[in-house]
Structure 1
Amino acid sequence: MASFNEDGLKKKLDDLNMSQQSIQTVSLWLIHHKKHAHAVVNVWYRELISATDSRKLTFMYLANDVIQNSKKKGPEYNREFGSKLGKVFDHLGGLRLDDKSIKGLNRLLTVWEERSVFDADQIRSFNKNFNKDHSKEKSKKRDHSKYESKSKRHKKDVEEFEEIASEPRVRRESELTEHSPQDSTPPSDPPEPEQLIEALQELESAATSDAVVREKIASLPDEVSDVTLLNNLQDLNAARALSQKVEEALAMLEVYNKRLAEEMEARKSVARMLHDYIAYQKDLLAQAEETLEEHRQKQGKVKKVREELKAHLQNLPDISKLPNIRTGGLAPLPSAGDLFT
């Protein structure tokens, strides 16, 4: 996995846009680097404060996606964002934001309250800080219909991203079983390499790899599975003996079939993990290729400067070959008389 650094994070935040794919891609990367949550949130906070008013809602949607989708992996981001959001909403409350941003931010606060993302005291504090200067503006807008057209222009965008604000990026179990991992669905959080390796190793001891049980099943006598052979029974003792074999075979097959069903689910899970892991690696590969191209261009510029510098140095006189003034290497200047004779 790519290592974390603040410059890389700043570049991702510079490139961040309001599209769901952009937000989820950056969110996925941040959740993977959750051990750097403190540094991540500090950089996010500084970049949000310096961002234009029109981009601040994008930063908040990113924070929401990270907070809601990192809960299952640990409390790091909830804790770090919780310590900064009071200042953030105080900052946002002092700005003259457009209707789209105000509605989107209030929607976030409502969702966080409904889902207990933060405790009640924090939500009240966030609401107080944010809405301190917006209540008067809201009442004025209710009295003037001229603002309705502007609100309608933003309605579609707000509705589109309310889903981002309100729904964590978690697929239902039915979706996971009905569709193959190769479907064009957005990837979930990528697994850690250790998790993926462990899941693959567990498949080595799966039911289909159990040669002993498979050999036992293959060697079962024909009479336990062929009803037509019951006519060959000669007496009660033979029937009882066959009945015992059938019961043993049935018990063995029931256990083995259960293991096969568990293996099937495990393989589906591993397939999803591989799908998400590969998708994440492709994203990192694209970023690496972009970074490589940028550094190749910089390298070309540095080489050009080096060549120009070499050419410049070659045109300079060799100071080491000049006479040394201190040791009298230069001829004495002519006298005034010598100049006029």
Structure 2
Amino acid sequence: MADVKDQKDHIMAGFTEESLNKRLRHLNSSQLSIQTLSLWLIGHRDYAHTVVKIWSREILTGSESKQLILMYLANDIIQNDKKNGTEYGKEFSKELTKAFKQISLSNCSSRTRQKLTRLLNIWEERGVYSKIQIDEFMDAFGKESAKKPTGEPPSKKVKHSQNHKSKMTRSQNNDIKKDIEFTVELGGTDKLHVILSSKTPVNDPPEPEELIKVLNDSENAPSCVREHNISKLPLEIADVHLIYQLKGEELSRKVKDTVASLTNYNTILKCEIEDRKNVYSKLHDSIQSQRDLIYQAEQKLQECHIKLQKVCQVQQEVHKHLQNIPNFPHLPDVKCGHAPLQSADDFFTAD
């Protein structure tokens, strides 16, 4: 909480490379953290060239998770800076190709690759960059290299296993399919594969761990601390009738401090509203995805019940057929009292 509080303080402070490096170190994956730093950097767009150079350096040296957070930061800056200028858009366009290439060379996970591919698709749909530039970023990012499975084979005792596979396909309606494959072992060697595929809107349903994290972040919102501090403002500042009792520098100092606190509080509230909208969106996508999977599971279950009934009917028919087959051990012995049949050679033997 102390890091988040320090990151939100002095949002309109002057720009220095040291302050930027400090804020980048404290940057995390929450939307509140990303948007707060984005607003601060947009307010200092005169230093766009320096900001992007430092950002590019962090991309080259950062871990995979840090690289993804930095790409989200760049996205927020680029899209929000379009309203007031294009400084950041132009500067980032010079470094994004190198950034995507660096992330690709670091063998990022499939989930990180999916998120960044979706980010490029959004840029193309919203016209953030031209088709030629998007294709250049795509080429630098490359395609995911085929990876051989390294996991251990499933134990023979396991009767049921679940394997989550997220597949992102760019189709005409820009849908995302998320497949869940159930492998059921039958008998010991035979296996039945059942695949449930949820079809959701453009937003990718979050993983449970990601959903838990954003919910915890929303509960620990810094606005609660700020609200407590706002409630402790001096009475002579909050009451118009008492403000006339203050004079000179004392009045000026208290008013400036109060205005700075309220401005900072309003900025944090705006970011928190967007953060809560993001939580709502993730919950909505997750619930819709689970409903789709439940519906498909019910359909599969109904199909299995119908097939089971047919198998039972066939089993009964086979049982009846077996009952009607003669009991061969109790048939009369054909060798008793009868001469044996001639062999094939006897037919060609001359008399």
TM-score range (shorter-chain normalised) is 0.3 to 0.5
* Larger strand share, 1 or 2: 2
